[in-house]
Structure 1
Amino acid sequence: MNSLYDVQQLLKRFGIIVYVGKRIYDIELMNIELKDLFEARLIDQNTYLKARNILIREHRIEESREDH
């Protein structure tokens, strides 16, 4: 798992499709859904941490785009 697309595909396996319309909001909602999957023990810790790190990275990228 290396990209936001990979995280989207992980969520999709559980029937979760996120589209709010603004990329930064999509990332925030994906983070909530990911946490819920982990807390429900549907994904392991390693998968959760990899996906979470990707979401953190992508969120920072979006924040820097909005600052300009």
Structure 2
Amino acid sequence: MESSIRTMTDVRALLKRFGTIIYTGDELGDLDLMEEELAELHRWGIIETAEYIAACMVIRRRRMELDN
């Protein structure tokens, strides 16, 4: 199954589906918290592996953009 998660907006929408809204004002910190929340959702079997991997890739891509 191909995931439709391609942007940070998609990642935020995925988390929001499960009642999670992350905004601390520190974007790098937000990315860390999002990764942790996604890992928990995946570990609990709430989101599929494809969604988890796609969301993590989007987050890592954003982290690389911020590092440049």
TM-score (normalised: structure 1): 0.89
| Aligned mate of 1:48, from 45, 48, 52 | 52
Any conservation in 2 of the 1:4–1:54 contact (CA below 8 Å)? yes
5+ residue gaps, structure 2, are none
In structure 2, give the amino acid aligned to 1:42. Answer: I
* RMSD of Structure 2 on Structure 1 (CA): 0.7
In structure 1, give the amino acid aligned to 2:57. Answer: N
1:30 aligns with 2:34: yes
Distance in 1, matches of 2:66 and 2:34, equals 14
**1:57, CA displacement in angstroms?**
0.5
5+ residue gaps, structure 1, are none
In structure 1, give the amino acid aligned to 2:8. Answer: L
SS at match of 1:43: coil
TM-score (normalised: structure 2): 0.89
Matched residue pairs, number? 64
Counterpart in the other structure of 1:19: 23
Q: Which runs of 4+ in 1 moved over 2 A?
A: none
Any conservation in 2 of the 1:34–1:48 contact (CA below 8 Å)? yes
Percent same amino acid among aligned pairs?
Answer: 33
With CA pairs under 8 Å and 6+ residues apart, which has the higher RCO, 1 or 2? 2
Q: Which has the higher helix share?
A: 1
